[in-house]
Amino acid sequence: MNILLPRFLKSAYRKEPISSFIVIVGATDFVMGGIGSQWTLFSLGLMMMLTAGIVRWQKVQKAEAFTGQEKARYFLPPSSSRPPLPTLVSHKSHR
67-79, pLDDT tens digit by residue? Answer: 655 566 666 666 6
Question: Structure pTM?
Answer: 0.53
User: How many other C-beta atoms lie within 10 A of the C-beta of residue 45?
Assistant: 22
Task: For 77, list phi and psi in degrees, rounded to 5.
Answer: -70, 165
4-33, pLDDT tens digit by residue? Answer: 767 776 776 677 777 778 888 888 888 888
